[in-house]
């Protein structure tokens, strides 16, 4: 391992890990990109760094500037880390339906957190729109705008995709992951398809999202939900997602996700968050439909630490009609 240069030098170049239980069960190599090993603990560190570097390069963000974003979690965490390392201020708008742990974590990292009433995207007071409006009132400030700022997808086109290609020597049959902003799927799929147009790209969707229908029928109509997953699923096609090259979509239910994360905890020792569970569920479905001998790569977006009061809480699961495997 080379010596890495500081915080931003430690973002990316994550290991690609064979998931033993699932690989042995399916006869396929099921490999997960260990994004939980980024300094901010998630896949969103890459997008945070690329969005800030794009703003620096364009001159929109200068020394001592401010980064404003509407985010409920990992992007805010990634931005706060990168902003601290470069002397920028971070202001995060968050809806008031988020856990106190997330607000406290962002504050601990040094972000100013503005909790605003939870309203739909169409409402002008939606937290993302408030972030954009506030940034426009400040000098030397940007609205990161992760959903439609394509520096997000570019981070995966320039880093995640090439890393997967190099780590597998180009031997990948399927890449699958879920979509929040779409940055990960878009950038990674665009790069991998350029290397091998025959690679299958599968969008993994939780219930209660419109993306499975969008890929399958062309219409972004909602599927029945809800889902307890966080950070994934969407009802609109963002500028980032428009860059994705997708062959098909698969739905993974919350119970399949719960069974997956508990199985990996108990059998393999991994402690993953809900979106990793959806991604691994989709990887297993792909393995079963293709048969043994294939290599399937997915994303291990973050670990289970932020989800202890929900996903890793039997009482919460029971309230949602879900069961944790005993």
Place of tokens 């890929």: 215
| Residue choice 41, 78, 206, 231 for contact with ligand PMP (CB under 6 A) | 231
Nearer to ligand PMP, 113 or 178 (CB): 178
Q: Which is nearer to ligand PMP, 147 or 262 (CB)?
A: 147
Check binding of 280 to ligand PMP (CB under 6 A).
Answer: no
How many Å apart are CA 199 and CA 193, to the nearest integer? 6
Contact in structure between 254 and 199 (CB atoms under 8 Å): no
Q: According to the binding rule CB under 6 A, does residue 210 interact with ligand PMP?
A: no
Assess contact for 275 and 178: CB atoms under 8 A: yes
From the candidates 33, 44, 193, 285, give the one annotated as an active-site residue.
44
Q: Where are the beta strands (DSSP E) in the chain?
A: 16-18, 29-34, 66-70, 89-95, 112-116, 141-143, 174-178, 200-206, 248-252, 295-300
- Considering only 22, 141, 179, 228, the residue that binds ligand PMP (CB under 6 A) is 179
Nearer to ligand PMP, 155 or 294 (CB): 155
For residue 242, indicate whether it is catalytic.
Answer: no
- Residue 232 interacting with ligand PMP (CB under 6 A): yes
CB of 46 to ligand PMP, least distance (A): 9
User: Looking only at residues 89 through 148 of this chain, which bind ligand PMP when binding is defined by CB under 6 A?
Assistant: none
Q: Is 181 in the site for ligand PMP (CB under 6 A)?
A: yes
How many of the other CB atoms lie within 10 Å of CB of 60? 13
* Cβ-based burial of 87 (10 A; exposed 0-12, middle 13-18, buried ≥19): exposed
Contact 199, 173 (CB under 8 A): yes
Residues identified as active-site: 44
Residues found near ligand PMP in the complex (CB under 6 A): 42-44, 73-74, 178-184, 231-232, 273, 275, 301-302
């Amino acid at each position: 391992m080379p010596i890495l240069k500081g915080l931003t030098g430690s973002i990316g170049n994550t290991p690609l890990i064979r998931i033993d239980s699932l690989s042995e069960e399916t006869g396929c190599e099921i490999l997960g990109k260990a994004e939980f090993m980024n300094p901010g603990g998630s896949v969103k560190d890459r997008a945070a760094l690329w969005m800030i570097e794009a703003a620096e390069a364009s001159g929109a963000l200068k020394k001592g500037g401010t980064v404003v974003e509407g985010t409920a979690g990992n992007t805010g965490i990634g931005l706060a880390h990168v902003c601290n390392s470069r002397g920028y201020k971070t202001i995060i708008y968050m809806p008031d339906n988020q856990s106190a742990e997330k607000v406290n974590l962002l504050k601990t990292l040094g972000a100013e957190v503005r909790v605003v009433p939870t309203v739909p995207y169409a409402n002008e007071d939606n937290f993302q729109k408030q972030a954009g409006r506030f940034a426009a009132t400040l000098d030397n400030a940007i609205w990161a705008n992760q959903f439609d700022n394509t520096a997000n997808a570019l981070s995966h086109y320039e880093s995640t995709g090439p890393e997967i290609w190099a780590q597998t020597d180009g031997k990948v049959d399927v890449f699958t992951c879920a979509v929040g902003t779409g940055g990960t799927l878009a950038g990674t799929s665009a790069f991998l398809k350029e290397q091998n147009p025959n690679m299958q790209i599968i969008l993994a969707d939780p219930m209660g999202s419109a993306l499975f229908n969008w890929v399958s029928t062309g219409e972004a109509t909602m599927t029945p939900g809800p889902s307890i997953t966080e950070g994934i699923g969407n009802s609109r096609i963002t500028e980032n997602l428009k860059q994705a090259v997708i062959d098909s979509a698969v739905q993974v239910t919350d119970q399949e996700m719960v069974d997956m994360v508990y199985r990996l905890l108990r059998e393999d020792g991994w402690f993953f968050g809900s979106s990793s569970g959806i991604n691994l569920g989709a990887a297993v479905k792909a393995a079963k439909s293709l048969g043994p001998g294939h290599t399937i790569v997915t994303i291990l977006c973050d670990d289970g630490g932020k989800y202890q009061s929900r996903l890793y809480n039997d009482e919460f699961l029971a309230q949602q009609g879900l069961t944790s495997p005993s």
